[in-house]
Amino acid sequence: MDRFISHKVKNLAPSGIRQFFDLVLKTKDVVSLGVGEPDFAAPWRIREKAIYSLEQGYTSYTSNKGLLRLRLEIAHFLKKHYRLIYDPGEEILVTTGVSEGLDLAIRTILNPQERVILVYPCYVAYPAVVELSAGRVVPLYTSFEESFKINPEKLKELIKRYKPKAIILNYPTNPTGVSYSKEELKELWRVLSKEDLLVISDEIYDLITYNFKHTPFSTFKGAKGKTIYLGGFSKNYAMTGFRIGFACGRRELIEQMSKIHSFVMLCAPIISQLSAIEALNSQKDVESMVKEYRRRRDFIVGELNNLGFKTLLPQGTFYCFSSIKNTGLSSLEFASLLLKKVKVAVVPGEAFGLLYRDFIRVSFASPFPDLKEAILRIRKFKEQYLKN
């Protein structure tokens, strides 16, 4: 069979991680800090809307770009929340998750061999999507010492050297929990505004922030025209299974993205679109979830630091990225041993970039008792199985 598989596909994703994931999924009684989605079910009013839509017989296709009502609601939300103006007619496309929006954006802009800057550690889909378009990844590495934030000078240099077509930004960031203040973003825009490249900004965690209000990249003067803004429902509203998101950008870009979308996806599921309308009117539910995440964040980060795993306080998302450097183990070794000895699952840092073997991603999207149990087990693990 092997000969039927394309090289491009065969070479996707590091295999060690996949085996580790399979092992976790097979292990019983795992306390998991490895989950990349909320532990909450979608708020009841959203689920109720989905049920009602089915009862009413909403089971058809919609227009390719998505229900106009939903696009209007998205435009309204962005305006009210961020003072961002997008035309629901031509500048907004409803996608089957941010995953699809990302794929469309890259496929729309990239010719083979063209380059895209990715900020590492980064979400696993980015390099894969670039590679599937035969593009080339230009890694911009961020370090613990830099608080995992982009150094504008490094960015400038990379652009000069590689002339990339685009950069993918993601903040609040999976896997580090880092986000950027308005001032920090302004610095980045100062660099990017002078260059001829497109920004794809994945802001799927925009409502899950703790320290300051989120600033969409396209709010800066002149940035809207050079940015594809990707927004989601999966994380903010705990709607991962609904598979819905949206992309905003210039008419010309959205039109071309819609073209691909109309051939390969037709439209996002109508039930999810109707539910998303309800979601945009469920901000109270979001607030209470974020409040809960914040409590857990404070707990878990405190405990990890106490245990000697240096961890920065996340400014958004439900992840933190902890250093395991002093254990002398690679992240995959550490995660495998942790699973084997005390049945706690974490994601090895190297899943997000090979340079991050000294880190693990810890998700606090789990109920408090689970977090507490996980910490007890990690303490035991440290005492029994780790040197120093």
Partner 1 sequence: MEDVLKILEGNARISFEDLAKLTGEKEPELRKMVNKLEKKGVIVKYKAVINKELLPGERSVLALIEVKVSPQKDVGFDAIAERIYKFPEVKSCYLLSGTYDLLLVVEGKSIHTIADFVAEKLAPLEAVKGTVTHFMLKKYKEDGVILRKKKEIKRLTITY
Ligand X SMILES: Cc1ncc(COP(=O)(O)O)c(C=O)c1O
Interaction site with partner 1 (CB under 8 A):
21, 24-25, 27, 30, 32, 34-37, 39, 123-125, 174, 295, 298-299, 302-303, 345, 347, 351, 368, 372
Q: Does 236 bind ligand X (CB under 6 A)?
A: no
Distances from the Cα of 336 to the Cα of 326, 333, 342, 343, 346, angstroms: 17, 5, 10, 9, 9
Window of 139-147, 183-191, 232-240, 355-363 that interacts with ligand X by CB under 6 A: 232-240
Residues 244-273, one symbol each (x = binds ligand X by CB under 6 A, - = not), give: -x----------------------------
Cβ 118 to partner 1 shortest distance, Å:
15
Cα 145 from Cα 380, distance rounded (Å) = 29
In angstroms, give the least distance from the CB of 295 to partner 1. 5
Nearer CB in complex with partner 1: 35/72:
35
Q: Phi and psi at residue 318, in whole multiples of 5°?
A: -120, 40
Site string for ligand X, 124-163 (x = CB under 6 A): ----------------------------------------
Question: Minimum CB separation from partner 1 for residue 28, in Å?
Answer: 10
Residue 338, binding choice from ligand X, partner 1, none, Cβ under 5 to 8 Å by partner class: none
CB of 71 vs partner 1, minimal distance in Å? 29
HSE-up of residue 251 (Cα within 13 Å, Cβ side):
4
Residue 24 interface partner, choices ligand X, partner 1, none, CB cut-off 5-8 Å depending on type: partner 1
**The two structure tokens encoding residue 227:** 């940015």
- Residue 358 is a binding residue for ligand X (CB under 6 A): no
Task: Find all residues with CB under 8 Å of 15, minimum gap 6, and list them.
Answer: none
Evaluate whether 365 touches 293 at the Cβ level (below 8 Å).
yes
Q: Which is nearer to partner 1, 32 or 176 (CB)?
A: 32
Q: Whose Cβ is closer to partner 1: residue 267's or residue 362's?
A: 362
Maximum alpha-carbon separation in the chain: 63
Region binding ligand X by CB under 6 A among candidate stretches 94-102, 144-152, 187-195, 324-332: 94-102
Q: Which uninterrupted H or E stretch holds 382?
A: helix 368-385
Phi, psi of 287 (to 5 degrees): -55, -45
Q: 3-class DSSP state for residue 384?
A: helix
* Shortest separation between residue 196's beta carbon and ligand X, angstroms: 25
Question: What is the C-alpha to C-alpha distance for residues 327 and 318, in angstroms, rounded to an integer?
Answer: 24
Q: Is residue 197 a contact partner of residue 109, using CB atoms and an 8 Å limit?
A: no
Residue 36 C-beta: closest distance to ligand X, Å = 4
Q: How far is CA 105 from the centre of its chain?
A: 15
Quick check: 324 and 336 in contact, CB under 8 A? no
Site string for ligand X, 328-357 (x = CB under 6 A): ------------------------------
Crossing angle of the two packed helices 368-385 and 283-306, in degrees rounded to 10: 20
Q: In what order do the strands lie in the sheet with 319-323?
A: 319-323, 359-363, 347-348
206 lies in the site for ligand X, by CB under 6 A: no
Q: What is the contact surface with ligand X in residues (CB under 6 A)?
A: 36, 97-99, 123, 170, 174, 202, 204, 232, 234, 240, 245
